[in-house]
Chain A
Amino acid sequence: MSTNLPATVVIVDDEEMVLTSLSSFLTLETDYAVHTFLSPTAALEFVGANEVSLIISDYLMPEMDGISFLARVREIKPDVTRIILTGYADKENAIKAINEVGLFQYVEKPWDNDNLQIVIRNGIEKQQLLASLRAKVDEINRAYAGLQKIQTDILKTFS
């Protein structure tokens, strides 16, 4: 898979140390463009305005919980891979949320960096595949539209 630009990763957590540790690791080991946010609202703004491949969000946050946040992300950018990171033990609720919102992955705190890296890589790949698929579909659509136009013109000419 070739990419011209490094993938953009957004991390949202109300804890500075989590943001720091994650961004430090990703910066050290990958070439992703990592953007961290303490506020989900700010994160949403960023996602709305930029191309983002993947979002990692905390589950419990004072401003907005992770599920709601990711649900909003899906509304504005459906192709963005969404990962939730939680220290909360209530797996049942988490699974319910995954099913409702359609998450790519559920990662428990404390996480293993290597595992997380694989998850992120897969997530970005998935996003990029989706993106290129969408581009192809668009191309086909455009071609189809062009063909339709030609057909219309031919019909006009011979009519």
Chain B
Amino acid sequence: MPADKLSSVFERDPEIVYVTDAEARLTSISDTAGSLLGFTQAELLGRSMFDLVHPDDRATAIAGFQESVRRGDTEVRTVEARLIDKSGATHFFEMHRRLHFAADGSLSGAEGIARDVTQSRRLQEQLRLYQAIITASADAVAIFDCDGNFVEHNPAHEKLLGYSLAQLRDAAKPTWCSPEDADRIATSLQASGGFRGEVAALTKDGRRLHIDLSMFAVMTDSGETRRFVGFARDQTERKREDQHRQVFQQLREQVLMMQGEADLEGVLTVLEDGLHAFGIHYQNCGINLLDLSTDPPSMRSRSSKPGGGWIESNTARAVRAVHEMWQRGEPTYRRDLHVDDPFDERRYLQTHAPIRAVVDLPFSHGTLALNSTSADAFSDADLVLLQEIAGVLSSSFQRIDDLRRLALSEARYRTLIETPDFIVLLLDPAGNYVYVTPRVQEWLGLSPEDFYADPTIGERIIHPDDVEIATAAFQRGVAGEAQQGVEYRWRRAGGEYRWASGGVYPILAEDGAVHTVQIVIHDVTRLKDLIEASERANRELLETQARLVQSDKMAALGNLVAGIAHEINTPVGAIHSMHDTLVRAVGKLKATIEEQYPECCREGNPLAKALKVIDDSNRVIEAGSARVTTIVRSLRNFARLDQAERKEANLHAGLDDSLMLIHHDTKNRVEIVRDYGEIPEVLCYPGRLNQVFLNILNNAQQAISASGTITVSTRVVGGEAHVVIADTGSGIPEESLSRIFDPGYTTKGIGVGTGLGLSICYQIMEDHGGHIDVASKVGQGTTVTIVLPLVPPDREETT
């Protein structure tokens, strides 16, 4: 800083005038010492001048003084020293002193003027600091005069623009910024004395920079503008980064919004803006989409032009070229088609514009392509940027694919899980419901929330008999065991139970522990009903069949018995009648003999003997024919063809007829005990009841292997006739007892029994409104109780 700039400071500052003796003691001092150092004249007089000097400077001051004394220097010398004022503060003083010597050459005294230069010294210090800061600043700093000429600049400025100060001074016009920016700055400076904003700067080597510029005027105290100072920061890189970030941000946002290829137009628009912002110049920009699902692959292309639409590529050459470039996986740059045209595309590309350079950048589904009418149009940095863009496209297309797959699989899963055919329950191992199909609402009248809210809901809605089964199945699921066909009943909200067939599937976490138990339940109520109905139908069919067979048998037997009865009755009738006639004839003969030949009747007479033989013969013939008559009547009664008729019948007669029919099997082997009570005639189907009696009596006698007893007792018990047939036979094992009335069940072996007997009996008793009870003990015998209401329930006559 020039000294004249500070002259005003000196002019204003007072100075101390002092005189010392040879010992440097103050002998005289001006009043100003009071205002500058705080001491009164009286306090200073007599004290050594060096006492006022700062201890650090004292030695130097004394040494300089003594040196001057030794040389006998009488010139005015200027020294600087720091003085301490009365309060102890330091002041910079500039002292101009001159020594006086006596004639003998000895020092007689000194006089001097001391000026306080503290202020100026501080300013100088600051100035040095500022200069250092400016020089070291990374920001470019320049100082202009009022005409806009460069006065000074710092190294950062030179580095930024590449011009030396001399070159800048010599330049006629500002070459570092555009005329528009220069005007803008000048206008602002004139209006407000400052400028702040972004300007584009041009470097010496022609690069275009974005500069954050701040300029202000430096004025004198009088307000006169002396200089302009400008600070400039290069924002090119930051700007570029911002732009890069912004473009990619926009691209990604656009891509995120993409739901399908139709939205690609928006992406391309953003892409174009980005390319423009990056300063990448091109003729056409487009996307080639390859479809590899066909053979050979097909391709659709889309230009960035708005509303361009998709163009189905119909040239095998173009498809092959793009496919090949796509397979390479890295940018394929044809720098100049005039020099090298590997894909033979010059003719094709130059139909609309004289394309020279083309680059294809592969991404997941095809290539991003740019071309230009300039050869070698794209720099390495451009290619890096374009590759980055291709990467964003890859992720966008993959995302579309993922979305599509996800939507598909979710839809598939949802359709599956919410199908009406089954409901899905997910439970954690503690038994809390994690997921419940909404379908459960239709199924049970409960919402999934009901399940989420209450983990014990199952115990309330599962049939009490089935809770154990369901709980055990779940616990096995928690233990990792998958199960199928677990059947239990759930109660609907209305109270009706529904049959469920459940599959229990443990879902394992990565560590192998059961993470979730999945329960898939089918409503098998209808199935159950169907099975039950079909079982019932099957049983009825068997019963019907049995009845048919039985009634066929009975009809056949009836016919047979009728025929046999006729055949037997004829001779029996003849014998019976003839015997009667014979008895009568013999009676007449005897009467005649007794009347006419009384002596012949005396005992010992041969004629009397002969008559006795005739009488005995007649008795035997009578007994025999009576027996035959009874058998035939029983047989005929039993197989009576009037069974369709319901009528009053004597149960004892039926029992007797039946016993008669098993007589040949029981005589001399089984004792028959009849214990008949008082039973009124019962309205029934006698023929069919006889069937029941015969069946059970036959079973009883068959159960007795050697000898035993069959006791037939009858009683009236509370409006019912009880016919109890008890045998002392082998008995029925407990496990068979429940099945003896099942159609087709037989223990007699194929060929012995049809297995239909007891089921028919059961049916007959049901038709009568009665039933059959069986009690049995193996080794002790069986007791069958046939229960028949005395007044049968009013029902339609069955055949």
Write the nearest CB–CB distance from B686 to chain A, whole angstroms.
Answer: 13
Q: Classify the interface of chain A: helix, strand, loop or mixed.
A: mixed
Q: Do residues A18 and B585 form an inter-chain contact, with CB atoms below 8 A?
A: no
- Per the bound structure, the CA–CA distance linking A112 and B580 in Å amounts to 9
Q: Is B338 an interface residue (CB 8 A)?
A: no
- Per the bound structure, the CA–CA distance linking A128 and B629 in Å amounts to 34
Cβ-defined partner of B580 (8 Å) among A58, A88, A113: A113
Cβ-defined partner of B561 (8 Å) among A29, A89, A111: A89
CB neighbours (8 Å) of A91 from chain B are 642
Q: Is A71 an interface residue (CB 8 A)?
A: no
Q: Do residues B641 and A110 form an inter-chain contact, with CB atoms below 8 A?
A: no
Q: Do residues B581 and A113 form an inter-chain contact, with CB atoms below 8 A?
A: yes
- Per the bound structure, the CA–CA distance linking A122 and B573 in Å amounts to 21
Cβ-defined partner of B569 (8 Å) among A25, A29, A90, A110: A110
Q: Do residues B565 and A18 form an inter-chain contact, with CB atoms below 8 A?
A: no
CB neighbours (8 Å) of A111 from chain B are 573, 576-577
Q: A90-B641, A92-B641, A113-B581 are in contact. Are A21 and B574 (CB under 8 A)?
A: yes
Q: Give the contacts of A95-116 with B (CB-CB under 8 A).
A: 108-113, 116
Write the nearest CB–CB distance from B577 to chain A, whole angstroms.
Answer: 4
CB neighbours (8 Å) of A59 from chain B are 566
Q: Do residues B562 and A90 form an inter-chain contact, with CB atoms below 8 A?
A: yes
Contact with A along B562-606 (1 / 0, CB 8 A): 100111111111111110110011001000000000000000000
Q: Do residues B588 and A110 form an inter-chain contact, with CB atoms below 8 A?
A: no
Q: Is B335 an interface residue (CB 8 A)?
A: no
Cβ-defined partner of A89 (8 Å) among B576, B578, B636: B636
CB neighbours (8 Å) of B356 from chain A are none
Q: Do residues A18 and B588 form an inter-chain contact, with CB atoms below 8 A?
A: no
- Per the bound structure, the CA–CA distance linking A17 and B625 in Å amounts to 15
Cβ-defined partner of B642 (8 Å) among A15, A92, A108: A92
Contact with B along A13-35 (1 / 0, CB 8 A): 10101101110110011000000
Nearest B residue (CB) for A15: B570
Q: Is A86 an interface residue (CB 8 A)?
A: yes
Write the nearest CB–CB distance from B622 to chain A, whole angstroms.
Answer: 12
- Per the bound structure, the CA–CA distance linking A15 and B568 in Å amounts to 12
Nearest B residue (CB) for A93: B641
Q: A24-B581, A28-B585, A110-B629 are in contact. Are A88 and B574 (CB under 8 A)?
A: no
Q: Classify the interface of chain B: helix, strand, loop or mixed.
A: helix
- Per the bound structure, the CA–CA distance linking A69 and B142 in Å amounts to 159
Q: Is A60 an interface residue (CB 8 A)?
A: yes
Q: Do residues B566 and A110 form an inter-chain contact, with CB atoms below 8 A?
A: no
Write the nearest CB–CB distance from A92 to chain B, whole angstroms.
Answer: 6
CB neighbours (8 Å) of A6 from chain B are none
Cβ-defined partner of B573 (8 Å) among A18, A28, A60, A89: A18
Cβ-defined partner of B562 (8 Å) among A22, A85, A88: A88
Q: Is B302 an interface residue (CB 8 A)?
A: no
Q: Do residues B566 and A60 form an inter-chain contact, with CB atoms below 8 A?
A: yes
Q: Do residues B577 and A110 form an inter-chain contact, with CB atoms below 8 A?
A: yes
Q: Do residues B565 and A22 form an inter-chain contact, with CB atoms below 8 A?
A: no
- Per the bound structure, the CA–CA distance linking A15 and B567 in Å amounts to 10
Q: Do residues B580 and A18 form an inter-chain contact, with CB atoms below 8 A?
A: no
Q: Do residues A28 and B566 form an inter-chain contact, with CB atoms below 8 A?
A: no
Q: Do residues B573 and A110 form an inter-chain contact, with CB atoms below 8 A?
A: yes
Q: Do residues A87 and B568 form an inter-chain contact, with CB atoms below 8 A?
A: yes
Q: Do residues B577 and A22 form an inter-chain contact, with CB atoms below 8 A?
A: yes
Question: In the complex, how many residues of chain A place their beta carbon closer than 8 angstroms to a beta carbon of chain B?
Answer: 29
Question: In the complex, how many residues of chain B place their beta carbon closer than 8 angstroms to a beta carbon of chain A?
Answer: 29
Q: Give the contacts of B238-279 with A (CB-CB under 8 A).
A: none
CB neighbours (8 Å) of A116 from chain B are 577
Q: Do residues A89 and B640 form an inter-chain contact, with CB atoms below 8 A?
A: yes
Write the nearest CB–CB distance from A65 to chain B, whole angstroms.
Answer: 12
CB neighbours (8 Å) of A17 from chain B are 570-571, 574-575, 578
Q: Do residues A20 and B574 form an inter-chain contact, with CB atoms below 8 A?
A: yes
Nearest B residue (CB) for A87: B569
Q: Do residues B565 and A87 form an inter-chain contact, with CB atoms below 8 A?
A: yes
Q: Do residues A88 and B577 form an inter-chain contact, with CB atoms below 8 A?
A: no
Write the nearest CB–CB distance from B687 to chain A, whole angstroms.
Answer: 12
- Per the bound structure, the CA–CA distance linking A87 and B571 in Å amounts to 10
- Per the bound structure, the CA–CA distance linking A17 and B575 in Å amounts to 8
CB neighbours (8 Å) of A28 from chain B are 581, 584-585, 588
- Per the bound structure, the CA–CA distance linking A110 and B575 in Å amounts to 9
Nearest B residue (CB) for A25: B581
CB neighbours (8 Å) of A13 from chain B are 570
Of the candidates A29, A60, A85, A88, the one having the most CB atoms from chain B within 10 angstroms of its own CB is A88
Q: Do residues A87 and B578 form an inter-chain contact, with CB atoms below 8 A?
A: no
CB neighbours (8 Å) of A87 from chain B are 565-570, 573
Contact with A along B755-780 (1 / 0, CB 8 A): 00000000000000000000000000
- Per the bound structure, the CA–CA distance linking A110 and B577 in Å amounts to 8
CB neighbours (8 Å) of B576 from chain A are 110-111
CB neighbours (8 Å) of A29 from chain B are 581, 584
Q: Do residues A89 and B641 form an inter-chain contact, with CB atoms below 8 A?
A: yes
Q: A28-B581, A109-B573 are in contact. Are A86 and B588 (CB under 8 A)?
A: no
Q: Give the contacts of A69-90 with B (CB-CB under 8 A).
A: 85-90
Q: Do residues A20 and B578 form an inter-chain contact, with CB atoms below 8 A?
A: yes
CB neighbours (8 Å) of A25 from chain B are 577-578, 580-581, 584
- Per the bound structure, the CA–CA distance linking A20 and B570 in Å amounts to 12
Nearest B residue (CB) for A26: B581
Write the nearest CB–CB distance from B78 to chain A, whole angstroms.
Answer: 172
Q: Do residues A89 and B565 form an inter-chain contact, with CB atoms below 8 A?
A: yes
Contact with A along B280-315 (1 / 0, CB 8 A): 000000000000000000000000000000000000
Of the candidates B571, B581, B636, the one having the most CB atoms from chain A within 10 angstroms of its own CB is B581
CB neighbours (8 Å) of A88 from chain B are 562, 565-566
Q: Do residues A86 and B566 form an inter-chain contact, with CB atoms below 8 A?
A: yes
The 10 closest A-B pairs by CB, nearest first: A87-B569, A109-B573, A109-B569, A110-B573, A87-B566, A17-B574, A21-B578, A89-B636, A25-B581, A21-B577
Interface pairs (29), CB distance under 8 Å: A13-B570, A17-B570, A17-B574, A18-B577, A21-B573, A21-B574, A21-B575, A21-B577, A21-B581, A22-B577, A24-B578, A24-B581, A25-B584, A28-B584, A28-B588, A29-B581, A58-B570, A87-B565, A87-B566, A89-B562, A89-B566, A89-B636, A89-B641, A110-B569, A110-B572, A110-B575, A110-B577, A111-B576, A111-B577
Given contacts A89-B561, A89-B565, A109-B570, 13 further A-B contacts (CB under 8 A): A13-B570, A15-B571, A18-B573, A24-B581, A24-B585, A59-B566, A89-B562, A89-B566, A89-B639, A89-B641, A90-B562, A109-B566, A109-B572
